[in-house]
Amino acid sequence: MPRRKLIAGNWKMNTTRAEAVTLAKAVAAGVGASPACDVAVIPPFPWLVPVADALAGTAVALGAQDVYSETKGAFTGEVSPGMLLEVGCKYTLVGHSERRHVIGETDAATNQKVHAALEAGLHVILCIGETLAERERNLQERVFQRQVYAACAGLTDEQFARLIFAYEPVWAIGTGKVATPELAQEAHKNIRARMGMLYGDNIAAALPILYGGSLTGESAPGLFAQPDIDGGLVGGASLKADAFLKIVAAAG
């Protein structure tokens, strides 16, 4: 069965409330009632409720930029999986490169978040990828294995069905640099092969793997034509409806 593509827009720490609602409505209107791929927007935490209201009854799903690994308690500043579900989230990001390399999250923390989110019923977009220094030392496959094994340890087959990978070449994020379709395909193929070795060919074949490195409407068609690229995690281009919808159209 072919893997259905997903285009998810990560707005990061951008937009005012009014801008978020306007953007969400424009994306929903442009996507229409029956898009050829799945579409999600991932606003900052404070705008989840108004964006959920703006998306009500549309084909666009809501996602969160992060989640905590506990259900409740004295964890000031954190947001639980249940809270995200209650405001209407279908997806959550886990392990984004900025969480790993700017905030300092560990592989162990990523694994705990993956488990908590999947156990609650969320779909997890798990971000993995190498830095420029790791790529220059030809360590990307070793990085994939470490990040994949650490994040997915202990998952059940049913949980894997709600897991999505996003390959982030960290050296391409926010730089305007994009891995060529051939380089991106090689990375996605290696990640899928690593999943097959660790968890079996059936899980590996069904796993969607998104590309997440400065994706644009111009680069999207070549990337999405590759056999192991199943959509995109879009950063800067997701902040303008027209630019984001161009990427969505490329995945149709």
Are the beta carbons of 113 and 150 closer than 8 angstroms? no
For domain 66-211, say whether CATH 3.20.20.70 is its number: yes
Q: How confident is the model at residue 214, as a pLDDT? A: 81
The mean pLDDT of 123-129, rounded to a whole number, is 94
**pLDDT tens-digit profile of 5-19?**
999 999 999 999 999
Are the beta carbons of 30 and 1 closer than 8 angstroms? no
Q: How confident is the model at residue 177, as a pLDDT? A: 66
Domain ranges of the chain: 1-63, 66-211
CB atoms within 10 A of CB 204: 18
The residue from 123, 130, 168, 188 that is catalytic is 168
7: Cα separation from own chain's centroid: 9
**pLDDT tens-digit profile of 44-81?**
999 999 999 999 999 999 999 999 999 999 999 999 99
Q: What's the pLDDT band for 134 if we cut at 50, 70, 90?
A: confident
Q: How confident is the model at residue 146, as a pLDDT? A: 86
Are the beta carbons of 140 and 99 closer than 8 angstroms? no
The residue from 96, 115, 123, 188 that is catalytic is 96
Annotated binding site: 10-12, 174, 214, 235-236
Is residue 70 annotated as a catalytic residue, yes or no?
Answer: no
Does position 242 have pLDDT exceeding 70, yes or no?
yes
Q: What percent of the chain has pLDDT over 90?
A: 77
Are the beta carbons of 132 and 172 closer than 8 angstroms? no
Annotated binding site for substrate: 10-12, 174, 214, 235-236
**pLDDT tens-digit profile of 156-202?**
999 999 999 999 887 766 666 667 899 899 989 988 998 998 899 99
Rounded to 10°, the helix 17-31/241-250 angle is 30
Query: Torsion over CA of 69, 194, 175 and 229, rounded to 10 degrees?
Result: -100
Q: What's the pLDDT band for 135 if we cut at 50, 70, 90?
A: confident
Query: Residue 133 is encoded by which pair of tokens?
Result: 């220094």
Name the nearest CA neighbour of 97 among 139, 161, 147, 162: 147
The mean pLDDT of 126-136, rounded to a whole number, is 81
Query: Residue 130 is encoded by which pair of tokens?
Result: 């190498």
Q: How confident is the model at residue 200, as a pLDDT? A: 93
Is residue 123 annotated as a catalytic residue, yes or no?
Answer: no
Rounded to a whole number of angstroms, the CA Rg of the chain reads: 17
Specify the long-range contacts of residues 27-34, CB closer than 8 Å, at least 24 apart.
27/60, 27/241, 27/244, 27/245, 28/54, 28/55, 28/58, 28/59, 28/60, 30/241, 30/242, 30/245, 30/248, 31/58, 31/59, 31/60, 31/245, 31/248, 32/59, 33/58, 33/59, 34/59
Does position 136 have pLDDT exceeding 80, yes or no?
no
